[in-house]
Amino acid sequence: MTNSRDLFSKFDALIAEREALLATGVRDPFAIVMDEVKSPTLAVIKGKDTILLGTYNYMGMTFDPDVVAAGKKALDDFGAGTTGSRVLNGTYQGHREVEDALKEFYGTSSAMVFSTGYQANLGMISTLAGKGDYVVLDADSHASIYDGCFLGDAEIVRFRHNSVEDLNKRLGRLPADALKLVVLEGVYSMLGDVAPLPQMVAAVRSHENCMILVDEAHGMGFFGAHGRGVYEEQGVEKDVDFVVGTFSKSVGTVGGFCVSNHPKFEILRLVCRPYVFTASLPPSVVATAATSIRKLMHAGEKRAHLWKNSQRLHKGLTDLGFTLGTKEPQSAIIAVILTDQAQAVAMWQTLLELGLYVNMARPPATPAGTFLLRCSLCAEHSDEQVGQIIGIFEAAGRAVGVIA
C-alpha cells in the first residue's frame, strides 16, 4: 500500500489556507515584485507608482550617490565576488575597511562582519552558548535568535516580552554557577516597541556569570547621539558585552556584524561556524556598507527628520481611529493592528491598489492571534509623502470598514 504522506504533509494546512485566500481574488501578499525602484521611498508595482512604507530602509541610504559610487568602483577594482570564506580566500581589503568603519562608528575594539544579519545572530549565539549553557531571551525574539540557540544546543529560557520582573525571576531560578547569555533587542520589529534596557541590564547584573548581547538591527542609525542604537540612547553602552546588527536596514545593503570590547573576541573568527563555513560578502557590498556607515556618523539631520515622520504618522493614524501597536511612537516602525487575517489582507490589498506598499504580518511571525500591517518609515519620506500616506490609510480604512 502506497503511503500518501510525504515530508511536505506537515504543510498541508498552511497550503490549504493560502489557496483559499488566493481563491478570493487577492494578490499574494508575499509575492509582490517591484518592477522598478525609483528612490528609497518610491517604486513601480504592477505599472503603478507606489509609495514604499515597508522596506526598513530607515535612513534612505540605498540611493545615496557616494554609496552607489563606492559599490561601482569596487566592482571594477575587485570583481563580482570573493568565491570563498573569510578564513580562506574571502577576506579582501574592503572587509577590513568595513570592520574598521564599524569599530569607529561603535567605538569598540573589535568588529566581525557576517554575510547576513541572520547569520550574525546565528553565529554569535550558537558559538557563545553551547550545550550546558543557558540563553535567556525575550519571548518575542527574532527567529534568528531562536535558531542560534538551537544550533548551539543551549538551554532556552524565555521571559515575558519586555518584562524586567520576569527576566529577573527566571535568572534567579538558574544555577548560579551556570554560564548564561542574555539576548535583548533594542527595537522589536513587529510592534516597533523599545526595550527598557537600563532596568533589564540592572536585573541581569544582579546575577552571576551572565553576559549581555543586544540586537540593534532596527535601532542602528536612528537612536542615540551617534546612531548606535537604543542601548546608546538609554545609556548602557558600558554594560553591554556584544552588539549585533545588520546592513540590510539603515545601512542600505546586505550583511551582518557583531561589535565588542571583549579582549578574547577575535578567537570567534576561528570557531564560529556561520562565519567560517560560508562565502564572504562581495567586494561591492562591503564597499557600499563602509561608505554608508561612515556617512551615518554624521546623519543627525536625517535622524531628526525620521523621528518627525514617525511622530506625525503615529498621530495621524491614531486620530483616524486605527489601533496601533504602541500608544506613543517609539521607533520608525508603526504597527496597525487588525482583527483577523481577512481584514488584514483586505486592508493590505486596498492600500496597494491606492499606491501604498506596507508589510502584512501574521502568526507565527507575530504573537498568537495578532494580525497587523507594519509600516517602516524612511528619513527620505517627504512631508508631502507622509501626508499622502495618512490620506491613503484613511481612504482604505473607510473602504474596508476598519474605521468609521
* Element (DSSP H or E) covering residue 246: strand 242-246
Regarding whether 164 and 292 lie in a shared domain, the answer is yes
**Domain containing 372 — which CATH number?**
3.90.1150.10
What is the model's pLDDT at position 28? 84
Per-residue confidence band for 2, with pLDDT thresholds at 50, 70 and 90: low
Q: What is the pLDDT of residues 316-363, one digit of tens each?
A: 999 999 999 999 999 999 999 999 988 999 999 999 999 999 999 887
Cα 393 from Cα 404, distance rounded (Å): 12
50 closest CA partner among 334, 358, 305: 358
Q: What is the pLDDT of residues 263-303, one digit of tens each?
A: 999 999 999 999 999 999 999 999 999 999 999 999 999 99
Give a yes or no: residue 10 inside a domain. no
Per-residue confidence band for 21, with pLDDT thresholds at 50, 70 and 90: confident
Regarding whether 271 and 220 lie in a shared domain, the answer is yes
Regarding whether 321 and 192 lie in a shared domain, the answer is no
391 closest CA partner among 312, 326, 311: 312
Give a yes or no: residue 223 inside a domain. yes
* Element (DSSP H or E) covering residue 49: strand 48-52
The total domain count for the chain is: 2
Domain finish residue from 256, 274, 296: 296
Per-residue confidence band for 1, with pLDDT thresholds at 50, 70 and 90: very low
Specify the amino acid at residue 265: F
Regarding whether 140 and 70 lie in a shared domain, the answer is yes
Record the cell numbers describing residue 1, joined without a space. Answer: 500500500
**Domain containing 226 — which CATH number?**
3.40.640.10
Per-residue confidence band for 31, with pLDDT thresholds at 50, 70 and 90: confident
Regarding whether 311 and 240 lie in a shared domain, the answer is no
Give a yes or no: residue 9 inside a domain. no
Give a yes or no: residue 96 inside a domain. yes
What is the model's pLDDT at position 5? 87
Beta-bridge mates of residue 170:
none
Answer whether 97's CB lies under 8 Å from 70's CB. Answer: no
State yes or no: pLDDT of 60 exceeds 70: yes
* Element (DSSP H or E) covering residue 15: helix 12-23
Regarding whether 208 and 143 lie in a shared domain, the answer is yes
Residue 220, domain extent: 64-296
What is the model's pLDDT at position 364? 72
Regarding whether 364 and 393 lie in a shared domain, the answer is yes
Q: What is the pLDDT of residues 111-124, one digit of tens each?
A: 999 999 999 999 99
Model confidence, pTM: 0.95
Give a yes or no: residue 8 inside a domain. no
Cα 370 from Cα 263, distance rounded (Å): 43
Answer whether 43's CB lies under 8 Å from 33's CB. Answer: no
Regarding whether 214 and 74 lie in a shared domain, the answer is yes
Distant-in-sequence contacts of 199-207, Cβ < 8 A, 24+ apart: 199/164, 200/164, 200/167, 201/236, 201/239, 201/240, 203/164, 203/167, 203/168, 203/171, 204/167, 204/171, 205/239, 206/168, 207/168, 207/171, 207/172, 207/174, 207/176, 207/180
Give a yes or no: residue 12 inside a domain. no
Of the listed ranges 89-93, 169-173, 252-256, 338-342, the one predicted with least confidence: 338-342
Distant-in-sequence contacts of 227-232, Cβ < 8 A, 24+ apart: 227/105, 227/296, 227/297, 227/299, 227/303, 228/105, 228/106, 228/107, 229/186, 230/186, 230/187, 230/194, 230/195, 230/197, 231/186, 231/197
Regarding whether 47 and 190 lie in a shared domain, the answer is no
State yes or no: pLDDT of 88 exceeds 50: yes
What is the model's pLDDT at position 157? 98
Listed in sequence order, the DSSP H helices in 107-196 are: 117-128, 143-152, 164-172
State yes or no: pLDDT of 142 exceeds 50: yes
Regarding whether 177 and 242 lie in a shared domain, the answer is yes
Give a yes or no: residue 161 inside a domain. yes
Domain finish residue from 255, 270, 296: 296
Cα 363 from Cα 340, distance rounded (Å): 11
Beta-bridge mates of residue 212:
182
Q: Which residues of 82-93 are buried (b: 16+ CB within 10 A; e: fewer)?
A: beebbeeebbbe
- On the question of a cis peptide bond just before residue 329, with omega within 30 degrees of 0, the verdict is no
Answer whether 35's CB lies under 8 Å from 360's CB. Answer: no
Regarding whether 319 and 190 lie in a shared domain, the answer is no
Q: What is the pLDDT of residues 207-247, one digit of tens each?
A: 999 999 999 999 999 999 999 999 999 999 999 999 999 99
291 closest CA partner among 134, 117, 105, 146: 105
Helix 117-128 / helix 143-152 crossing angle, nearest 10 deg: 40
Give a yes or no: residue 358 inside a domain. yes
Instruction: Reduce the DSSP state of residue 215 to 3 states and report it.
Output: strand
What is the model's pLDDT at position 3? 63
Domain finish residue from 246, 270, 296: 296
Mean pLDDT, the chain, whole residue set: 95
Mean pLDDT of 46-60: 97
Cα 269 from Cα 287, distance rounded (Å): 21
Regarding whether 197 and 160 lie in a shared domain, the answer is yes
